[in-house]
Amino acid sequence: MSRVTEQFEVARQYLAGGVSASTRVNRAVGHPMYFDRANGCRVWDLDGREYFDLCCSHGATLLGHGDERVRAAIDRTLDRGAACSYENEQHAEFAKLLCETIPCCERVRFTGSGTEATMHCLRLARAYTGKSLLLKIEGHFHGYHDQVMYSIGTPADRLGEPADPTHFPGSAGIAPGLDQQLVLVPFNRLDLLEQAFAKHSRELAAVILEPVYYNAGCILPDPEFLTALRDMTRQHGVLLIFDEVLSAFRMTAGGAQEYLGVTPDLCTLGKAVGGGVPLSVFGGRQDIMKRLMPEGDCQHSGTYNGHPVAVAAGLAAVTAYRQPGFYDHINAVGARLFAGLNEIFRRHDVFARVQGLGARFGVYFGVPAELRGYRDAVQHSRPAMLKFIAKAIEHGVYFHDYGGAACHHGFCAATTLDDVQTILQRLDIAVAELAAGERPA
């Protein structure tokens, strides 16, 4: 038995399910990964095996593991005593940097996780508009709180009609009735968005969506869909919220809103914003953010909000994302990796495609054309994906399976073009073995 599988047995005796987060079990291998150390784009497991990390902490470590700039900022904060639950001068310094970087942000608040950020953002939207209905895009993921735990992993045979998607719950234990607060519309279906607005616009507080649907790998919005959504929300006094927990900093420092040229009223930032340390942000128009206590009447607080270690780490990380050439490098690595992997699939006759933007991507098996929404993602072959992930891990490239219909993968800025070459060499062998296994003997 390896030390990795041994460790899972130990953990299961004390941790529920053997893990601290349910999606940490990688179904492709049947256990969580136990990494002993990490450096840049590489991780080493408890048995000393090296992997290139194409999960990158679910998207949190965009600079790579153990980045020196983040580490130095953390060390300086610890040296000052890291007094938490108080403000220091870095909170405003980082807030200013974020307001200068993210188009919609005139004011921001720090909070702990992506889940908290969307939860507070939605409460604020309801407080500001005095309305309670929310429009959510089918399949889009906004964290683990009850308001948005619907239609995130609906099985293919339970989707319902596109005009009336099933409010399939993402968990047991959700209070009955919350589904009544959500209107669901499939991504990129402008006709159905218009229908939903015609029916519900007067009761809608907000529309929340992933501007780039990275939780299903990488699915881009149609420009017409997004522009119409912006126009309709503005026209009907409905707040537009971009959940950029995963998309922020991925393809440009200003996030998907800068890349797509559409500015929402509010947005959430998570994962990469903390440079690998727990931090999330929500922010947006000043007149809306003014509704937060103590200026206004909408509550947002928390003992660990804006922990000084996280703020220092985030400040160092976002400063690094803004350095000239940062995204030229990301795009060069992405272009080489995505094209190389597509070429490997073609050469070995494996029916798979890569869709990527910036530092994150999806790998889809058995779908004939570009994916446009959850209904396409759920058609891709999850068993084929799990086999691919297991083979890649066997050959030293770590992909994570989150248990959903499709998965998002990604690389970090510490990945060099030479690293990409090695990653592709390893994946070439993995895909060759996969293809040989599929062929009749």
Ligand X SMILES: Cc1ncc(COP(=O)(O)O)c(C=O)c1O
Does residue 143 interact with ligand X by CB under 6 A? Answer: yes
Residue 165: asked if its preceding bond is cis (omega within 30°), the reply is: no
User: Which run of H or of E encompasses 51?
Assistant: strand 50-53
Q: How far is the CB of 296 from ligand X (least distance, A)?
A: 24
Both tokens of residue 60? 């949190």
Amino acid at position 369, single letter: A
Distance in Å, CB of 21 to ligand X, minimum:
8
Window 43 to 62, contacts with ligand X (CB under 6 A): 58
Q: Does 215 bind ligand X (CB under 6 A)?
A: yes
The values of phi and psi at residue 267, to 5°, are -150, 160
Burial class (CB in 10 A: 0-12, 13-18, 19+), 124: buried
Q: Which is nearer to ligand X, 141 or 327 (CB)?
A: 141
Our CB check for ligand X shows the closer of 4 and 267 to be 267
Within 264-283, the residues that bind ligand X by CB under 6 A are 270
Alpha helices per DSSP H over 112-189: 114-129
1-26 burial: b if 16+ Cβ within 10 Å, else e: eeebeebbeebeeeeeebeeeebbbb
Q: Compare residues 143 and 334 and give the one whose CB is closer to ligand X.
A: 143
Residue 90 contacts ligand X per CB under 6 A: no
Residues 98-117 that bind ligand X (CB under 6 A): 113-115
- Please report whether residue 118 would count as binding ligand X according to CB under 6 A: yes
Q: How far is CA 316 from CA 39, 43, 67, 421, in A?
A: 18, 22, 10, 29
Q: Is 245 in the site for ligand X (CB under 6 A)?
A: yes
Give min distance, CB of 394 to ligand X, in A.
26
The yes or no reply on residue 246 touching ligand X (CB under 6 A) is yes
Quick one: 115 or 355, whose CB is closer to ligand X?
Answer: 115
Provide, rounded to whole angstroms, the least separation between the CB of residue 77 and ligand X: 21
Residue in 31, 65, 109, 142 binding ligand X, rule: CB under 6 A = 142
- Comparing CB distances to ligand X, the nearer of 245 and 298 is 245
Longest dimension (CA), the chain: 71
| CB nearer ligand X, residue 252 or residue 350 | 252
Taking CB under 6 A as the rule, does residue 150 contact ligand X? no
Does 186 participate in binding ligand X (rule CB under 6 A)? no
Q: How far is it, in rounded angstroms, from Cα 305 to Cα 119?
A: 14
Q: How far is the CB of 280 from ligand X (least distance, A)?
A: 6
* Least Cβ distance, residue 179 to ligand X (angstroms): 19
Bridge partners of residue 364, in order along the sequence: 353
- Rounded to 10 degrees, the C-alpha dihedral 291/292/295/296 comes to 50
Q: Which residues contribute to the site for ligand X (CB under 6 A)?
A: 58, 113-115, 118, 141-143, 210, 215, 243, 245-246, 270
